[in-house]
């Protein structure tokens, strides 16, 4: 926080000196803002640059000199190679793994969002007994370590669930199916989804909701016509996180879908590329970048929803 | 109001139903033994093999097994073997798994997560002759075979830079005293004899336990060695202490270890042999199992730039090996699994697997001769292993036989502590390890 | 319960909602009810067909994904709509009592099966022995609070849940606030901070290997950045990850690096939602930028800060993989609670102890939850 201290002064002065008509109420940054931003970005980028540089270096070099040494003589022959990428891409079943990852990640993102949005609305704007307790329970479930949940769920998937000899959970044989993975991911993602969305939906001005109710709208209409459009940034934010989490997940897909060439998702393919003794760890550098491409596309395409204007809309509403 | 009062209990009931459901699962159809299930068309073998090797093995399965069978055998190479294996076995979805730690088998038998070979109708009568009784017996619990040895690898190997070694006029030692004399000679010549590295992420320390085992087997002999991992003698027994001291003789010897013993816990085991290939060699000796040559520089040629000799005998003879036991999950109680297992350990398939260049494994099948192996190192290792299996002097990696709390826990950390704290800390460390042995 | 797994909730809520159907219904347009039922019936059969299709392993992956998206969005929405229609049909005095449960029902059912049931299962296991056979009373808990390594893990976890959220939220908040003022390049700057979130865990492990890697004299040049810099300054290489107690902080850096992007994105969205007039009014009143930050921005997004901090605390409680791959936690003394749990569960195969450690994790989150309920109630009052 102390870092931020000089900023306002500079900012204020600059703005006071020459007020800009085009700034919509937010002061633009002076040099201080830019320096701080740049410093943090550089700090955050160093590890990534290390991986990026390494991913283009021959294996022998990776092991014998630091990645930063390439900057000393970046044009020397033999410093750069595409081998790591071609090796990672050539790994058996890479395209199939990519496809599987998409088939897992997209539904595992959309299903929990829809379910959580309804629940978040109820937790924010509807009154019913046990609301606080249920909400706390839902959020508290964030802390459940997945590893403890996998075996019981796997047993439900292959054998159903019995209580005093009565089947209370049908024997669906969901193991090894996409459906099984989606449901698991959807459920594991729900606590965070409900939690995040409730905060956003709950902070909408009550005047909007009240006036809609006075106009005779029922909860379903309010939710669908009013709350959802207003919550797009929050929905987009959660969509990004859930997508990233599912995309980068290794464990859930491994357990419920399996690690065979046919069924495995991209994270499993990449982890196996390296081998259990870690002999090929240099391949991970290229693999890490390959598997980052899609999540970054998702991030950039959803980022445009993080814009000002949410409140402008709500005031009109 | 009726509905409000109904709704809440209902939610609670759903929770309760879900909650109790699984507790009774153990009695479900997942239970072992008994009637066998239908042919599902696939036999899955979960394994910790390296990826290239996995692909080669799959090709052999396709060629020799799948082409004729009414099922498809697939090997699933997993970099997260322990976790996946545990989850699948307990979750009831495990087909077959090649387990490198037979110590884990007992627990799985206890909770009914795996079934025995007898249960699925596998004929075990010829196994002892085929693979050596001492090896097969490790997979036997309460008289039933729960693990089928499907490969073996030699641990008692000391690697050296052959060309430089010969040029310097050194000779391969055949006894412990000669090994120490060689080390002293190297120090006297201004070199450093040993390269040692024990870092391996969360499993750091395992290479140190291999050292201990190699020495223990040769100082106390195979019988006391067995008493050790079976906990018939305590971990702080004099025999173990004697082996630990001898281990310290190398590790703490003046100028013996490159970087000194206290650095070894932080040196990656894969990086450790590196200095051996410098010119002049940064070190001359490296003790590690068959697979380590995968970490050698790509330009190094076996038999020219490097070679190996067996860990020399001390007071007794012995050969230390590791290996894998294939266990059968509750989901695999099917006739085609038996068929696959028989095909898998047959001389034909095993010999073909020895021909895989990327492989670092040896067949436990005694009928698979040295000429099956594509590389000479494996061929030599196979000769030593076969002889050891036949005459009964071979012993399995003890840390993999001990309860996991010790074998994959306090033994590892204890050895790392020993390296850091020096020779005098040994008795205290052995007491500490003994204290962690489960009830 | 029906075989339709997507809608386990449907049968619950529908079952309840159906009963009053026998009673005379006031005011509900008959066709709407018919449509609602038709949709439920149609949904049932569609789901069954879809279900069979989705179980077909040979089916095209693209098609599967397409079907799944339709079910995931349209199907789930249709389900809610149909249930809502049926609720409309209830006598008016019941209607609004039942409706909230229609909204939260599916979430609760999914959570019950996938999370609540495993939690209860875990609690039961925590009182049993290594192989979950016999009850052993509080033996496992006694272990948790007496074992030397466990106690260290509790101490380390306490450090993690303070340091990681504090740094990640502070950096995320400052960055989001400042980036908001950039004339251009805001999106790019934010993406850079966000990027680590897109790296899978194996990727992150490699990333930091290139930073912390250590090789002593004689084992070749150091390929880790830290030792590169340290050595460049003329020092001996340092095994960073076994330098107790600092190694704990080196590990925390990894998590901060990954998670700050989350804090930054969520806080940035919240900052953008602050009414412009509010900030302008403060400025007109003569507030300095620093005062605007602390008196306007921070209070306005307080609920979001609570959410982000809570999430970070919980994630820090659950951290294990970072610790797990970065060396032998026990000899480096970097154990954390969740890492101990995984270790006892998957490595040492003692399910009872692992479960007891998990229960301690559940309990550790209670104070955070109490804090949340307070915030939750406050928000209700003030909005």
Q: Which residues of A touch B4 (CB under 8 A)?
A: 128-129
Q: Which residues of B touch C221 (CB under 8 A)?
A: none
Q: How confident is the model at residue A16 (pLDDT cuts 50, 70, 90)?
A: very low
Q: Please give the Cα distance from A90 to B46 (Å, whole number).
A: 23
For an interface test with C, the pick among B10, B13, B14, B191 (most C C-beta atoms closer than 10 Å) comes out as B14
ipTM of predicted complex:
0.82
Q: Is A93 on the interface with B (CB under 8 A)?
A: no
What pLDDT does B93 receive?
87
Task: Please indicate whether, in this complex, the C-beta atoms of A255 and B91 are within 8 angstroms of each other.
Answer: yes
Interhelix angle for A232-248 vs A178-202, to 10°? Answer: 150
pTM over 0.80, yes/no: yes
What pLDDT does B322 receive?
92
Neighbouring-strand partners of residue B144: B141
Q: Is C382 on the interface with B (CB under 8 A)?
A: no
Kindly report the CA angle at B421 between B418 and B426, in degrees rounded to 5?
45
Q: Which residues of C touch B4 (CB under 8 A)?
A: 97-98
What pLDDT does A167 receive?
64
Select from B342, B330, B331, B371 the least CA-distant residue to B354: B371
Q: Which residues of A touch B279 (CB under 8 A)?
A: none
- DSSP code for B309: E
Q: Which residues contact B92 (CB under 8 A, 6 or more apart)?
A: A154, A155, A158, A159, B25, B28, B30, B113, B329, B330, B331
C108 pLDDT above the threshold of 60: yes
- Average confidence (pLDDT) over B172-180: 94
Chain B nearest-CA distance from A60, in A, is 8
What pLDDT does B18 receive?
37
Q: Which residues contact A245 (CB under 8 A, 6 or more apart)?
A: A189
A308 pLDDT above the threshold of 80: no
Q: How confident is the model at residue A206 (pLDDT cuts 50, 70, 90)?
A: confident
As given in the structure block, the two tokens for residue B399 are 């840390």
Q: Is C206 on the interface with B (CB under 8 A)?
A: no
Q: Among A39-53, B273-287, C43-57, C84-98, where is mean pLDDT lowest?
A: C43-57
Q: Among B185-194, B197-206, C142-151, C183-192, where is mean pLDDT lowest?
A: C183-192
Question: Scanning every residue of chain A, which has its alpha carbon at the shortest distance from the alpha carbon of C195?
Answer: A296
Q: pLDDT tens digits for B376-403?
A: 888 899 999 988 888 888 999 999 999 8
- DSSP code for B371: G
Task: Please indicate whether, in this complex, the C-beta atoms of A148 and C115 are within 8 angstroms of each other.
Answer: no
Contact predicate A50/C207, CB 8 Å: yes
Q: Is C295 on the interface with A (CB under 8 A)?
A: no
Q: Is A207 on the interface with B (CB under 8 A)?
A: no
Q: pLDDT tens digits for C265-274?
A: 888 878 887 8
For an interface test with A, the pick among C110, C126, C320 (most A C-beta atoms closer than 10 Å) comes out as C110
Q: Please give the Cα distance from B15 to C167 (Å, whole number).
A: 38
- DSSP code for C235: P
CB interface of C with B, residues 330-369, below 8 Å: 330-331, 343, 345-350
Chain A nearest-CA distance from C54, in A, is 7
Question: Scanning every residue of chain B, which has its alpha carbon at the shortest distance from the alpha carbon of C329?
Answer: B202
Distance of CA C328 to the CA centre of its chain: 27
CB interface of C with B, residues 91-150, below 8 Å: 94, 97-98, 101, 108-109, 112-113, 116-117, 120-121, 124, 130-133
What pLDDT does A211 receive?
87
Q: Which residues of B touch C132 (CB under 8 A)?
A: 111
- Average confidence (pLDDT) over C161-189: 89
Q: Please give the Cα distance from B305 to B302 (Å, whole number).
A: 6
B201 pLDDT above the threshold of 90: no
How does A20-54 read in b/e, with b if 16+ C-beta sit within 10 Å?
eeeeeeebbbbebbbebbeebbeebeebbebbbbb
For an interface test with A, the pick among B47, B90, B93, B275 (most A C-beta atoms closer than 10 Å) comes out as B93
Three state DSSP letters for A122-150:
HHHHCCCCCHHHHHHHHHHHHHCCHHHHH
Q: Which residues contact A20 (CB under 8 A, 6 or more apart)?
A: A28
User: For chain C, what is the mean pLDDT?
Assistant: 82
For an interface test with B, the pick among A135, A151, A184, A250 (most B C-beta atoms closer than 10 Å) comes out as A151
CB interface of C with A, residues 17-76, below 8 Å: 51, 54-55, 57, 61-62, 64-65, 68-69, 71-73, 76
């Amino acid at each position: 926080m102390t870092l931020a201290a000089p900023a306002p002064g500079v900012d204020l002065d600059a703005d006071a000196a020459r007020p800009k008509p085009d700034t919509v109420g937010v002061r633009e940054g002076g040099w201080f803002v830019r320096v701080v931003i740049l410093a943090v970005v550089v700090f955050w980028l160093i590890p990534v640059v290390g991986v990026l540089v390494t991913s283009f270096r021959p294996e022998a070099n990776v092991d014998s000199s630091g990645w930063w040494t390439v900057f000393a003589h970046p044009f020397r022959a033999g410093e750069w190679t595409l081998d790591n990428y071609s090796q990672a891409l050539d790994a058996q079943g890479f395209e199939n793994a990519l496809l599987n990852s998409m088939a897992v990640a997209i539904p595992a993102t959309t299903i929990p969002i829809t379910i959580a949005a309804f629940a978040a609305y109820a937790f924010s704007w509807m009154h019913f007994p046990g609301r606080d307790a249920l909400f706390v329970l839902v959020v508290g479930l964030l802390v459940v370590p997945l590893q403890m949940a996998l075996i019981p769920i796997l047993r439900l998937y292959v054998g159903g669930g019995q209580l005093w000899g009565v089947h209370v959970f049908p024997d669906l044989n969901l193991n090894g199916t996409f459906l099984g993975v989606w449901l698991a991911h959807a459920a594991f993602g729900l606590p965070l989804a409900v939690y995040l969305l409730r905060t956003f939906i709950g902070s909408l001005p009550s005047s909007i909701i009240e006036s809609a109710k006075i106009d005779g709208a029922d909860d379903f209409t309010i939710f669908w016509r009013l709350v959802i459009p207003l919550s797009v940034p929050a929905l987009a934010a959660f969509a990004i996180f859930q997508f990233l989490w599912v995309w980068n997940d290794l464990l859930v897909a491994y357990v419920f879908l399996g690690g065979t060439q046919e069924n495995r998702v991209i994270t499993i393919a990449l982890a196996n590329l390296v081998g259990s003794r870690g002999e090929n760890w240099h391949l991970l550098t290229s693999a890490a970048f390959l598997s980052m491409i899609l999540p970054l596309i998702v991030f950039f395409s959803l980022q445009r929803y993080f814009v000002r204007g949410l409140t402008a809309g709500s005031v009109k509403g | 109001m009726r509905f409000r009062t109904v709704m809440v209990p209902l939610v609670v009931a759903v929770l309760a139903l879900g909650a109790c459901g699984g507790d009774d699962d153990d009695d479900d159809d997942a239970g072992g033994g008994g009637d066998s299930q239908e042919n599902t068309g696939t036999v899955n073998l979960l394994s910790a093999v390296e990826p290239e090797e996995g692909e080669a093995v799959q090709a052999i399965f396709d060629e020799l097994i799948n082409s004729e069978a009414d099922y498809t055998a697939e090997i699933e190479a997993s970099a997260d073997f322990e976790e996946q294996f545990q989850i699948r076995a307990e979750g009831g979805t495990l087909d077959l798994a090649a387990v490198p730690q037979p110590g884990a088998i007992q627990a799985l038998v206890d909770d009914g997560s795996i079934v025995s070979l007898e249960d699925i109708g596998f004929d075990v009568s010829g196994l002892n002759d085929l693979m050596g009784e001492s090896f097969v017996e490790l997979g036997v619990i309460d008289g039933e075979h729960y693990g089928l040895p499907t490969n073996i690898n030699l641990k008692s190997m000391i690697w050296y830079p052959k060309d430089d070694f010969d040029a310097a006029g050194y000779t391969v030692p055949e006894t412990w005293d000669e090994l120490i004399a060689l080390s002293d000679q190297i120090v006297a010549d201004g070199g450093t004899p040993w390269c040692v590295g024990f870092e391996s992420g969360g499993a750091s320390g395992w290479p140190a336990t291999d050292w201990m085992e190699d020495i223990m087997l040769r100082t106390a002999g195979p019988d006391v060695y067995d008493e050790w991992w079976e906990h018939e003698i305590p971990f702080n027994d004099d025999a173990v202490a004697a082996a630990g001291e001898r281990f310290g003789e190398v590790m703490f010897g003046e100028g013996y270890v490159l970087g000194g013993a206290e650095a070894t816990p932080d040196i990656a085991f894969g990086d450790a042999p590196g200095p051996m290939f410098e010119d002049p060699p940064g070190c001359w000796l490296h003790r590690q199992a068959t697979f380590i040559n995968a970490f050698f520089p790509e330009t190094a040629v076996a038999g020219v730039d490097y070679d190996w000799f067996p860990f020399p005998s001390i007071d007794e003879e012995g050969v230390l090996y590791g290996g894998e036991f294939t266990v059968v999950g509750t989901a695999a109680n099917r006739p085609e699994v038996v068929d696959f297992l028989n095909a898998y350990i047959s001389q034909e398939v095993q010999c073909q697997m020895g021909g895989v260049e990327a492989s670092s494994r040896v067949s436990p099948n005694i009928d698979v001769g040295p000429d099956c192996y594509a590389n000479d190192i494996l061929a030599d290792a196979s000769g030593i292993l076969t002889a050891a299996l036949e005459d009964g002097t071979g012993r399995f990696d003890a840390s993999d036989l001990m309860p996991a709390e010790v074998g994959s826990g306090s033994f590892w950390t204890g050895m790392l502590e020993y390296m850091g704290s020096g020779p005098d800390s040994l008795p205290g460390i052995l007491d500490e390890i003994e204290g962690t042995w489960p009830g | 319960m029906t075989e339709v797994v997507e809608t386990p909730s449907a049968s619950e809520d529908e079952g309840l909602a159906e009963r009053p159907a026998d009673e005379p219904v006031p005011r509900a347009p008959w066709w709407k009810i018919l449509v609602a039922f038709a949709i439920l019936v149609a949904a049932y059969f569609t789901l069954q067909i879809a279900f069979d299709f989705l179980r077909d392993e040979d089916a095209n992956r693209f098609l599967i994904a397409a079907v799944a998206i339709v079910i995931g969005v349209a199907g789930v929405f249709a389900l809610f709509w149909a249930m809502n229609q049926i609720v409309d049909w209830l006598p008016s005095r019941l209607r609004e009592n039942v409706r909230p449960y229609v909204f939260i029902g599916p979430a609760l059912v999914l959570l019950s099966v996938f999370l609540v049931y495993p939690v209860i299962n875990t609690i039961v296991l925590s009182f049993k022995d290594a192989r979950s056979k016999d009850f052993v009373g509080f033996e496992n808990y006694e272990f948790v609070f007496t074992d030397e390594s466990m106690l260290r893990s509790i101490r380390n976890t306490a450090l993690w849940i303070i340091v990681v959220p504090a740094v990640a939220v502070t950096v995320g908040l400052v960055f989001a606030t400042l980036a908001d003022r950039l004339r251009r390049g805001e999106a790019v700057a934010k993406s850079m901070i966000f990027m680590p979130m897109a790296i899978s865990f194996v990727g992150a492990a490699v990333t930091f290997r290139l930073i912390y890697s250590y090789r002593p004299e004689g084992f070749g040049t150091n390929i880790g950045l830290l030792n590169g810099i340290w050595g460049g300054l003329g020092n001996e290489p340092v095994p960073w990850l076994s330098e107790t107690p600092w190694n704990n902080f080196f590990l925390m850096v990894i998590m901060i690096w990954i998670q700050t992007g989350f804090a930054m994105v969520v806080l940035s969205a919240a900052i953008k939602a602050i009414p412009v007039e509010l900030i302008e009014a403060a400025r007109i009143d003569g507030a300095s930028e620093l005062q605007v930050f602390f008196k306007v921005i921070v209070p306005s997004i307080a609920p979001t800060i609570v959410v982000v901090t809570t999430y970070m605390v919980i994630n820090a409680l659950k951290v294990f993989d970072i610790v797990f791959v970065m060396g032998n936690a026990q000899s480096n003394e970097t154990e954390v609670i969740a890492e101990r749990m995984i270790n006892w569960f998957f490595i040492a195969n003692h399910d009872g102890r692992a479960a007891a450690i998990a229960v301690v994790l559940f309990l550790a989150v209670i104070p955070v939850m109490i804090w949340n309920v307070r915030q939750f109630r406050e928000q209700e009052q003030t909005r």
